[in-house]
Amino acid sequence: MRARGAVGSRKGWCGLQSLIGQQLGDYVLEAELGRGSMGVVYRARSASQGKPFAVKVLLEALTSDMSFVTRFTREARVVGALHHPNIVRVYDAGRQGQHLYFVMEYFAGQTAGQLLRERGRLPASEVIEITAQAADALDYTHAKGHLVHRDIKPENLLVDRWYRVKVLDFGLARVDGLHSITTAGTVVGSLYYVSPEQLLGRKLDGRTDVYALGISMYEMLTGQRPYRGHTLTDMSQAILSSVATPAMQLEPSVSPELERIIQRAMARDLEQRYATAGQLGMDLREMQSASTPPGALKQGAESAAAGQEALPHAEAAAPWSPTSPTFQRGRRSTLRPTSLEPVPSEQPQRPHVRER
């Protein structure tokens, strides 16, 4: 999902009618933040509270298709049941006329994919921090929610200016252990990040997301994807049998230890891959600790704490720059924006869906 500036036009992308200026429930839609295959995300403001939120609205053309309505509603339920600082929070949901929507925490930031397009590649310290936080979120999702995300990629990792990370778009999430969904040979998810077992239509578990996170690390560090192809067949064959150029050959700043972590995360053989996202995160944190200068952790935590104070007005804060790649272990915030699918066995709080 691409970010989009606040433009008060009457038409959205692809000529579709924009809802900017309209009110859904208590929420006045102010600007488009992004648009995906199913819905549009708007920055909104609560009329009663005056606080900013993100509101995801199902595309009007899909409201008559019950499969999309079910999937959209399931997204709100799934994310509403997940409570983790690195996962977007869902607060409310409703229907107003033809508009089905749910309300999320507003989190000002850019996706790692956007950062990658702007810079070409990201420094190792930043990639380690982003990936470690994403691994924390996925470990929780796999263990507590029993869900496999199935669409992990840089574009679904939202990062703020203090390098706090939120995992986005659980729209393709499936209950752990179910088969991958395929239609006419097409795998659900972004093909560049699809695991071999997902391509082959086998049962999936959290290691599928670990693989995608490994591919994302490789891309963020080198500016290239490890497997490429001109056609769907070529791409699939590359994922299943090609040998990727080691990241350290493309980017000299990648250390042998970081190379080892990447290779293990994106191993084709499930038995050679990290068994859990938590193990991947632990290796990254240990590597991070070993390279942290004395005093950097304390300074970074203090800077992050100061950043938390200003987050509701993050647009006025300092320019993009992590004060320390390890500040997250000192203190984290609880802010977030967008996601989707099946309902986990444990469901602490589901957003109430109102009919209007």
Angle at 155 between CA 151 and CA 157, to 5 degrees: 85
pLDDT at residue number 136:
97
Q: Which of residues 1 and 61 earns the better pLDDT score? A: 61
* Nearest-angstrom CA–CA distance, 195 and 177: 15
Q: Do the Cβ atoms of 12 and 41 come closer than 8 Å?
A: no
Q: Which residues are catalytic?
A: 151
Does residue 336 register a pLDDT over 60? no
346: which DSSP letter?
Answer: -
Q: Do the Cβ atoms of 146 and 139 come closer than 8 Å?
A: no
pLDDT band at 16 (very low <50, low <70, confident <90, very high): low
pLDDT band at 189 (very low <50, low <70, confident <90, very high): low
Q: Which of residues 19 and 34 earns the better pLDDT score? A: 19
Q: Which residue ranges form the domains of the chain, and what is each CATH number?
A: 13-107 (3.30.200.20), 111-329 (1.10.510.10)
pLDDT at residue number 76:
81
Mean pLDDT across 106-115: 91
Q: Which of residues 150 and 207 earns the better pLDDT score? A: 207
For residue 186, the cross-strand partners are 183
* Dihedral over alpha carbons 80, 83, 89, 93 (to 10 degrees): 20
Mean pLDDT across 98-103: 90
Backbone φ, ψ for residue 140 (5° rounding): -65, -45
* Nearest-angstrom CA–CA distance, 40 and 87: 19
> What are the pLDDT digits (tens) for 29-83?
999 988 776 788 999 999 999 999 999 998 888 888 888 888 788 778 888 888 9
* Nearest-angstrom CA–CA distance, 85 and 137: 8
**Of 195, 129, 197, 140, nearest to 170 (Cα)?**
140
Backbone φ, ψ for residue 234 (5° rounding): -60, -40
Q: Do the Cβ atoms of 232 and 199 come closer than 8 Å?
A: no
109: which DSSP letter?
Answer: -
Q: Do the Cβ atoms of 86 and 213 come closer than 8 Å?
A: no
Read off the tokens for 151: 């669409």
To which residue do tokens 């239609």 refer? 183
Read off the tokens for 4: 């989009």
| Distant-in-sequence, close-in-space partners of 231: CB < 8 Å, separation ≥ 6 | none
> What are the pLDDT digits (tens) for 160-185?
999 999 998 876 676 655 444 444 34
* Nearest-angstrom CA–CA distance, 96 and 28: 13
Task: Read off the amino acid at residue 109.
Answer: G
To which residue do tokens 């395929």 refer? 182
Q: Do the Cβ atoms of 341 and 75 come closer than 8 Å?
A: yes
Could you give the count of Cα atoms lying within 13 Å of 149 in the half-sphere of its Cβ? 34
pLDDT at residue number 280:
98
